[in-house]
Chains A and B, each alone.
Chain A
Amino acid sequence: MRCPLLPVFLVFFIFGSAVQAAPYTPPSDDQVLERLPFKASAAEGRELSQLRRALSEQPQNLERALVLARRYFDLASAEGDPRYVGYAEAAIRPWTQAANPPVDILIVRALLRQYRHEFDAALADLAQAADREPGNAEIWSWRSAILMVQADYAGARAACDKLAPLASKLLATSCNAIIDERSGKARQAYTELSKALAQRPDADTDLGLWIQTRLAETAIQLGRDDLAERHFKAGLALGVVDGYILGAYSDFLLDRGRPAEVVPMLKDWERSDILLLRLALAEKAARLPAAAAHIAMLKERFDASALRGDKLHQQEEARFHLYLLGDARGALRLAAENYHLQREPRDARILMEAALAAKEYAAAQPALDWLKGNAYEDPAYAKLAQQLQAGAK
């Protein structure tokens, strides 16, 4: 017979020992303590340090600062390492601390701010930049993307309209397709996006990957699991390292009771909190012993960010509390706080799930309003909404 408390004991055991980890003196000079991120590509590391040196020689050189800051931002996004965001902010500090920063600095600051989920501040930077340079396509594409996260679909569409004459047809189509997908026109979004992709077989792999991911998620909304799976596999087959598609495909498999397929896919992704969460969920569902260690690791990471006062991963933290700690009330508190900031479908979903588990049906109202107000299509979401309404009666 399974002991329901066993995972809890294991967590305490492992976490307890992690806390007590004490400073030590390594026994040998050859012991490797840390692997630097550029181990695989020393050339990239060298290039980066050249850029740094160039800037430190002339810290007031705008062009050098922008190149380095952009480079750091790309790295932060690709590697998922927020340290680079701090480096980038420091590089542009001479301008951000002065009055009236240049447009390029405003844009970079907006990117860095949105990375840290300071969405309103990022939008303010973009608005200031747009006043001075309305023909800059980058400003509008970012504005649209941030408003999407805030579930302001009308605002996002207005930004797409501004973007359309400044960008390629494929980009304009993509910009609108995400909005359609989330506001009751999922079928149309799917058709247009697949048509646009078919017309541009030469599109680069990054774009191909992104469109396959969107098509897969739209297919899920349409209840077409077979199509979704095909798009996920096509996206993964492109061979681009991308955490988003891995996370989305893992969620798809977890929802369908196929955790055993998630484990090998994510086993080397422990360093990403987001994917580590999915890995632990899969291991728990598959009843693998590795789950306990991964749960302890997640707990340690959430504690470390709480110590800093960061609230960047509340959606994941809410899922962690609900499904790995069995703490529905804690999950609901986190999910509700998260929903003030981020209103993507996943944010609404965890809010509904936590409210249902905590039997505090009214707490899910903002998510229900979003679902109904935008006619968001997805059978799983509709079912959650139904359960919430039944529970409230």
Chain B
Amino acid sequence: MSRVLALLLLLLASFAAEAHKPSDSYLRFKFEGAQIVGQWDIALRDLEQAIGLDTNGDGDITWGELRARQPDIAAYALARLKIDADGKNCPLRATGHQVDHHSDGAYEVLRFAADCAAAPAAVEIAYSLFFDFDAQHKGLLNLEYRGRTQSLVFSPEHPKQRFVLSEISALRQFLSYGREGVWHIWIGYDHILFLISLLLPAVLLRERRSWMPVTHFGDAFWDVFKIVTSFTVAHSITLSLAALGVISLPSRLVESAIAASVVLAALNNLIPVVGGRRWVVAFAFGLIHGFGFASVLTELGLPRDALVLALVGFNLGVEGGQLTIVAAFLPLAYLLRESWFYRRVVLFGGSMLIVAIAMIWLAERALNMKLITP
């Protein structure tokens, strides 16, 4: 009966259990052309259980004991990892041994290389380390590919994993930068207000010192098209140059200039200076806005080997976000263009408001103080 009792007690003591964590190994793959550079952190406790490290049996594993067993460790572990690239096996070879510590103790750091026939498009990885004696062991793999990482988990139930490098990763990366671009234009009120300021008069014509509605939708569309395109071309140029590190401007200057551009664009609606040539304004100030986008991209971090992809993705995201705004604005403005409301409240009042807001931004940014949150 004492066994039953002991067990009952043990369960009630269950919260004292789970002191350590179960066994894991940490694998890291880096893809470099036809070669996969690997690092494999394996717990000394597990290696002791598998092949024995404590040669003198004193309960301590020393660096000397570990060092003596390194060839055996490499042979044991690498025999339990299989990498196939596009159906062809990539032979593994150990390239170095070190030590590291994780939250549950000391680990052997086994460095190795897998030599594949060609740069792989898809890899299949079969993992079976320690599964024979530990049903809870897991292999945690981190794949580094084109600056992005992905993790895969191996367990006795899932000893095999497949990973497609080219498509998945490139597409994902592209989409993720695209999303950032859309997001940035939507939350970047200064860019939106600049664009809106230039677009507000697009459904009107300036004749004899007063605003008249355009007669054809095509006229308004053409005007908007010119403005949006020149803004896009301009900010794409400076965004690329700044992101590639060709030009760099102090961010306070850039941010202040952006605020100033909003003030001027809105003022032009109140006291028209440049009439039908607003696309020139869009281009000129678009160059400044490009530097603003670039600072976001720098914060996100650009992948070294997929720079162009990320840049194009981000830029297209910005354009997509911009076009959504235009698509919402233009039909509405066209419908309202003949009303008193549009000319007095939207164009005049709206522009006044934009000037006021942008003036505050300008003051904030130029003088480095906090008045309102943009």
Q: Which residues of A contact B (CB under 8 A)?
A: 21-26, 28-40, 42, 45, 74, 76-77, 79-83, 85-87, 89-91, 93, 111, 114-116, 137-138, 141-142, 144-146, 149, 167-168, 171, 174-175, 178, 204, 206-207, 210, 242-244, 246-247, 271-275, 297, 300-301, 303-305, 307-310, 312-313, 315, 346
Chain A interface mostly helix, strand, loop or mixed?
helix
Q: Which of A38, A178, A243, A304 contacts B102 (CB 8 A)?
A: A304
Q: Is B106 an interface residue (CB 8 A)?
A: yes
Closest 8 A/B residue pairs (Cβ): A243-B16, A80-B19, A86-B136, A39-B59, A29-B64, A89-B135, A272-B19, A86-B134
Q: Please, how many angstroms separate the alpha-carbon atoms of A346 and B103 in the complex?
A: 26
Q: A32-B61, A171-B5 are in contact. Are A310 and B22 (CB under 8 A)?
A: yes
Given contacts A21-B100, A89-B136, contact A274 B44 (CB under 8 A): no
Do the beta carbons of B135 and A301 come within 8 Å of each other? no
The 8 Å CB contact of A34, one of B18, B61, B103, is B61
Determine the main DSSP class of B at the interface with A: mixed
* Cβ B20 vs Cβ A271 within 8 A: yes
Judging by beta carbons under 8 Å apart, are B100 and A145 in contact? no
Q: Which residues of the partner chain B approach A207 to less than 8 Å between Cβ atoms?
A: 5, 9
In whole Å, how far is B61's beta carbon from the nearest beta carbon of chain A?
Answer: 4
Beta-carbon contact of A36 and B1 below 8 Å: no
Contact across chains for A83 and B20 when beta carbons are under 8 A apart? yes
* Chain A residues closer than 8 Å to B20, beta-carbon distance: 80-83, 271, 273
Kindly identify which residue among B10, B63, B101, B136 contacts A82, using a CB–CB cutoff of 8 Å.
Answer: B136
Given A83-B134, A242-B13, A246-B16, are A305 and B21 neighbors across the interface (CB < 8 Å)? yes
Whether A308 lies near B8 (C-beta < 8 A) is no
Beta-carbon contact of B60 and A39 below 8 Å:
yes
**Contact partners of B153 in chain A: CB under 8 A:** 308-309
Query: CA separation between A35 and B60, bound complex, in Å?
Result: 5
Instruction: Give chain B residues whose Cβ lies under 8 Å from the Cβ of A22.
Output: 100
List the B residue with the shortest CB-CB distance to A270. B19
- In the assembly, what is the distance between CA of A172 and CA of B131, in Å? 40
Contact assessment for A34 and B137 in the assembled complex, using a CB-CB cutoff below 8 Å: no
Tell me the nearest residue of chain A to B24, going by C-beta. A308
Q: Are A271 and B19 in contact (CB under 8 A)?
A: yes
B1 touches A171 (CB 8 A): yes
B13 x A145 contact (CB < 8 A): no
Once A82-B18, A86-B134, A141-B7 are accepted as A-B contacts, the answer to whether A36 and B45 lie under 8 Å apart by CB is yes
Which of these, B17, B22, B60, B99, contacts A23 with CB under 8 Å?
B99
Contact with A along B318-330 (1 / 0, CB 8 A): 0000000000000
Interface centre among A21, A28, A34, A175 (most CB of B within 10 A): A34
Q: How far is the CB of A191 from chain B (nearest CB, A)?
A: 20
The answer to whether A26 touches B60 (Cβ under 8 A) is no
Q: Assuming the A-B contacts A33-B106, A204-B2, are A80 and B62 also in contact, with contact meaning beta carbons closer than 8 angstroms in the complex? A: no
* Residues of B close to A243: CB separation below 8 A: 13, 15-17, 19
Nearest chain-B residue to A204 (Cβ)?
A: B2
A91 CA / B102 CA spacing, docked (Å): 27
Given A36-B48, A274-B15, A274-B19, A137 and B60 contact (CB-CB distance below 8 Å): no
Let me know if A29 and B8 touch, CB within 8 A.
Answer: no
Interface residues on B, range: 35 or more
Instruction: Give min CB distance, A347 to chain B, whole Å.
Output: 10
Residues of B within 8 A of A25 (CB): 98-99
What separation, in Å, do the CA atoms of A5 and B134 have in the docked complex? 43
B219 within 8 A of A: no
Provide the bound-state CA to CA distance between A251 and B139, in Å: 36
B140 to chain A, nearest CB (A): 6
CB-defined contacts of B106 to chain A, threshold 8 Å: 33-34
- Is B299 interfacial (CB 8 A cutoff)? no
Task: Report A352 CB to chain B, min CB distance, Å.
Answer: 18
The reply to whether A86 and B135 form a contact with Cβ atoms under 8 Å apart is yes
Q: Once the chains are docked, how many angstroms separate the CA of A33 from the CA of B8?
A: 37
A309's nearest neighbour on chain B, judged by CB, is B153
Q: Which of B12, B15, B109 has the most CB of A within 10 A?
A: B15
Find chain A residues with CB under 8 A from B132 CB. 90
The reply to whether A80 and B21 form a contact with Cβ atoms under 8 Å apart is no
User: Which of chain B's residues have a CB closer than 8 A to the CB of A246?
Assistant: 16
1/0 per residue, CB under 8 A from A, across B1-39: the answer is 111111111111111111111111000000000000001
Q: Can you report 15 A-B residue pairs in the complex whose CB atoms are below 8 A from each other?
A: A26-B99, A34-B105, A79-B19, A111-B7, A138-B4, A141-B7, A141-B8, A144-B8, A145-B8, A145-B12, A149-B11, A210-B12, A303-B103, A309-B153, A313-B18
Whole-angstrom distance from the CB of B102 to the nearest CB of chain A?
A: 7
By a CB distance below 8 angstroms, the chain B residues around A204 are 2
Residues of B within 8 A of A85 (CB): 22, 136
Contact of B22 among A79, A141, A308 (CB under 8 A): A308
1/0 per residue, CB under 8 A from A, across B50-63: the answer is 00001001111111
A246 to B16, CA, bound (A): 9
Min Cβ gap A243→B in Å is: 2
Set of chain A residues within 8 Å of B63, measured between Cβ atoms: 26, 28-31, 33
CB-based nearest B residue for A56: B133
Option from A29, A115, A275 in Cβ contact (under 8 Å) with B67 = A29
Q: How far is the CB of B42 from chain A (nearest CB, A)?
A: 12
Known A-B contacts A33-B44, A34-B106; the reply to A308 vs B140 at CB < 8 A is: yes
Closest residue of A by beta carbon distance from B101: A21
Query: A32-B60, A34-B48, A247-B16 given. 10 additional CB < 8 A pairs?
Result: A24-B99, A26-B63, A34-B105, A40-B59, A85-B136, A138-B7, A178-B12, A243-B13, A275-B19, A303-B103
Within 8 A of A (CB), among B61-112: 61-64, 66-67, 98-106, 109
Q: Which residues of B contact A76 (CB under 8 A)?
A: 17
| CB–CB A142/B11 < 8 A | yes
- Complex Cα gap A21–B41 (Å): 13
A89 to B, closest residue via Cβ: B135
Q: Which residues of B have CB within 8 Å of A90?
A: 131-135
Closest residue of chain B to A207 (Cβ to Cβ) is B5
A residues in contact with B101, CB < 8 Å: 21
Beyond A42-B57, A167-B1, A171-B1, whether A272 also contacts B22 by CB under 8 A is: no
B67: A residues at CB distance < 8 A: 29
Specify which of B1, B24, B140, B151 lies most central, judged by the most chain A CB atoms within 10 Å of its CB: B1
B278 in the interface (beta carbon within 8 A): no
* Contact A77 B103, CB 8 Å, known A86-B22, A137-B4: no
Interface centre among A21, A36, A37 (most CB of B within 10 A): A36
User: Is B191 in contact with chain A by the CB < 8 A criterion?
Assistant: no
Query: Within the assembled complex, what's the spacing in Å between the Cα atoms of A42 and B60?
Result: 11
- Quick one: closest B residue to A313, CB to CB? B18
Contact of B9 among A32, A42, A210, A271 (CB under 8 A): A210
Residues of B close to A83: CB separation below 8 A: 20, 22-23, 45-46, 134, 136
